[in-house]
Amino acid sequence: MQGIESSTPLIKRFISLIYNDIYTTYRFCFPLVFKWTANKGGAAIFAFGTGVTMIALYSFSPNASPVPFYLFAALSQFFFSGFNTAIYTIIPDCVEYGEWVTGVRNDGFQYAFISLGNKIGMALGISLLAQALEAAGYVSNAAQNETVLSIMRHAFSTIPGILWVATAAALFFYKLNKRTYNRIVEVIRHRAAKKRGLRSIAK
């Protein structure tokens, strides 16, 4: 917040324009990436972009170099928005795939498990960061030592950036494309129709 408050009105205006333009571009970019990759593999691209731009943030300061700092911050949000869209379209694929493999449809469990995982991740992340800052000598409402400042910088740049790159590597192997998905749906429908036919005969 101190970096934003100390920025000039021109820098603030520039930041606002970048955020708005990138958000508008995102709305048109994601469908193109999805079409280009032919499946939800675009999530890997957006995850990688998020990681790289967050790692780049470590090299800049909102006070010393506000323009590149906020530019990379905006770009990281752009890539994150694309990833967030992709990952929540992958979840229904998992529901269909799970039903295809096991014969059991568990929509509620899938979404509940994802929600639980998000909450556990946020709780652990915040807790670990607080413990690290306390161990480094964090003092509320006071000037912080270099170790504390270094932990803060790494906590919002390099550490999550590396994890995002690792996420991109995992998602690279996501191979459920549109053709395969449609085939899975057809198999599920065929099974359901067969069950209905057997039930009708039994009656």
* Nearest one of 92, 81, 95 to 23, comparing CA atoms: 81
Residues in the chain: 203
Q: Averaging pLDDT over each range in 44-53, 65-74, 105-114, 185-194, which range is the top one?
A: 44-53
How would you classify residue 34: left for phi > 0, otherwise alpha for psi between -120 and 50, otherwise beta?
A: alpha
Split at pLDDT 50, 70, 90, the class of 27 is low
| pLDDT value, residue 7 | 47
Confidence of residue 62 (pLDDT cuts 50, 70, 90): confident
Helix segments in the chain, DSSP class H: 2-6, 9-37, 42-57, 66-102, 107-136, 146-155, 158-171, 178-202
pLDDT digits (tens, 9 = 90+) for 89-148: 788 788 888 889 888 888 888 888 888 998 999 999 899 999 999 999 998 888 889 999
pLDDT at 4: 42
Region of residue 141 (phi > 0: left; psi between -120 and 50: alpha; otherwise: beta): left
Contact 50, 83 (CB under 8 A): yes
**Percentage with pLDDT > 90 across the chain:** 27
For the ranges 85-89, 170-174, 177-181, 186-190, the one whose mean pLDDT is highest: 186-190
Q: Is residue 12 scored above 70 in pLDDT? A: no
Query: Does 58 score more than 90 pLDDT?
Result: yes
194: exposed, middle or buried (Cβ count in 10 Å: 0-12, 13-18, 19+): exposed
Under the banding of pLDDT at 50, 70 and 90, the label for residue 28 is low
Q: Is the pLDDT confidence value at 31 over 90?
A: no
Phi, psi of 23 (to 5 degrees): -65, -40
Token pair recorded at residue 69: 């700092």
Give the pLDDT of residue 5.
44
Distances in whole angstroms, Cα of residue 60 to Cα of each of 57, 66, 144, 153:
6, 8, 19, 10
